[in-house]
């Protein structure tokens, strides 16, 4: 597998974990009730996911 694809898939994985963790935190309040921080991290992770998917489409 090419290095670019490995890096991109790794970034997608990290972004998915970030979105999952902060979505669960927003729903359950595990790390506290910082709603603004949770929403901003979810938006940032979703943006990174989108960019990763677009990059995979470009590498095909």
CA nearest neighbour of 42 among 57, 53, 27? 27
Predicted local confidence at residue 60, as pLDDT? 86
Report how many domains make up the chain: 1
pLDDT tier at 19, thresholds 50, 70, 90: very high
* 38 class by beta-carbon count within 10 Å (0-12 exposed, 13-18 middle, 19+ buried): buried
pLDDT tier at 3, thresholds 50, 70, 90: very high
Helix, strand, or coil (residue 38): helix
Domain of residue 45, residue span:
3-59
Share of the chain above pLDDT 70, in %: 100
Question: Is pLDDT above 80 for 6?
Answer: yes
pLDDT tier at 54, thresholds 50, 70, 90: very high
* 52 class by beta-carbon count within 10 Å (0-12 exposed, 13-18 middle, 19+ buried): buried
């Amino acid at each position: 597998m090419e290095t670019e694809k490995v890096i991109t898939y790794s970034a997608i994985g990290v972004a998915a974990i970030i979105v999952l963790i902060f979505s669960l935190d927003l729903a359950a309040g595990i790390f506290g009730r910082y709603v603004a921080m949770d929403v901003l991290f979810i938006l940032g992770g979703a943006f990174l996911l989108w960019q990763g998917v677009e990059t995979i489409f470009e590498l095909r």
